[in-house]
Amino acid sequence: MKHLLYLAAAAVLFPGAASAKDINFILNWVPTADHAPYFYAKELGWYEDAGITLAIEPGSGSGAAAQRVGAGRSQMGVADMATSLVAKSKGADTVAVMTVYANSPQGFYWLKSNGISGPEDFAGRTIGNPPADASRVMWPMFAEVVGLDPDSVSFVNVSPQAKLASLKSGAIDITSDFYNEHDLKLREFGDDLGFVAWRDIGINPYGNSVIVNADYLEENRETVEDFTKVTQRAFKSCVEDFEPCLDSLMNNVSGLERDNQRDQWNRIKELMTDPTTTSVALGAFDPARMQEDYEMVETYFGIESPFDVTSVYTNDFLDETVKMTD
């Protein structure tokens, strides 16, 4: 496996007898640039100074992270917000306390040399991505926004690792991917690369967010507040100067390329920036957008058991003096 993962302690699940300030923090995926602030704050002892013993564990997807935090097997974690809403409707009781991706990282990529200048040329083409990819599930919404018949494209099953190779070989015409690794594609394809960000055409659900088990939150509000404020401070520090944060990431995670992670962070800062995070607080949610996200999930993913969307997020633990730089 390319990414050799965090410390052995990261695999520890804290038993019920453990201290309430022992937090197992499950990531949405293997650690990369967007996880650097957690490693940075842990390495500097900021969590420890708050009385928190933190174990960071690599994840295997937002769905798995949301289910695990919802079941209480991890106290806190990182998961895509739309995925967390779906998990909530299936019984995973979580509350988001901070958003990282205030903007959707979703985008479509293609090669201009194939005669595609934009989404208006997608009809009759193939889109390659995994079967459960969120962009495939939400394709009808994208098609509606750009004025396409949803059935006008064909989907091809492609693993995340094979997207670029499949695009380059012509096995697919279009692929979906997160904006984080935009620079890798630019280096590979240069001026031939075509791209549309979903957020730029009006499809902009919240992305990765910090979530907490609802029962744990109810019993440990002070600890959750301490964790949230330390994490918020860490993200702000990394926005101001990423190099120390990158050092922490590289110190704790093997198999990463430093330049690639720096490029990713520069893109992540764009995803972190919106009118709410720059005016209310870094990591803050906008209630109107959360309601829109709930309605989007209800339409395109399905809500098995309806709930009040205000029950699954809060800005209460954020320090409003810490704001994202626009």
Residue 138's pLDDT is what? 86
From 92, 127, 98, 107, select the one nearest 34 (Cα to Cα). 98
Model confidence pLDDT, tens digit, residues 137-154 = 889 999 999 999 999 999
Q: Give the length of the chain.
A: 326
pLDDT of residue 161: 86
44 burial level (CB within 10 Å; 0-12, 13-18, 19+): middle
Mean pLDDT of the chain: 92
Hey, where are the domains in the chain? 8-103+206-312, 106-201
> Cβ-count burial of 114 within 10 angstroms (0-12 exposed, 13-18 middle, 19+ buried)?
middle
Rounded CA-CA distance 180/258 in Å is: 14
Helices (H), 241-286: 242-252, 258-272, 275-279
The pLDDT tens digits of the residues spanning 214-224 come to 999 999 999 99
**CA angle, 187 as apex, 186 and 191 as ends, to 5°?**
50
Q: Which CATH code for domain 8-103+206-312?
A: 3.40.190.10
Q: What pLDDT, on the 0 to 100 scale, is given for residue 18?
A: 52
- 8-103+206-312 shares its CATH topology with 106-201: yes
pTM across the whole model: 0.90
Fold category of 106-201 in CATH: D-Maltodextrin-Binding Protein; domain 2 (3.40.190)
The burial of 219, by beta-carbon neighbours within 10 Å (0-12 exposed, 13-18 middle, 19 or more buried), is given as exposed
pLDDT tens-digit series, residues 5-35: 433 333 333 334 456 789 999 999 899 999 9
140: number of CA atoms within 13 Å, CB side? 6
At 85, the pLDDT band (50, 70, 90 cuts) reads very high
Position 78 confidence tier, pLDDT thresholds 50, 70, 90: very high
Strands (E), the chain: 22-26, 53-57, 76-80, 94-99, 106-111, 126-129, 154-157, 174-178, 193-197, 208-213
pLDDT digits (tens, 9 = 90+) for 230-276: 999 999 999 999 999 999 999 999 999 999 999 999 999 999 999 99
Neighbouring C-alpha atoms within 13 Å toward the C-beta of 110? 20
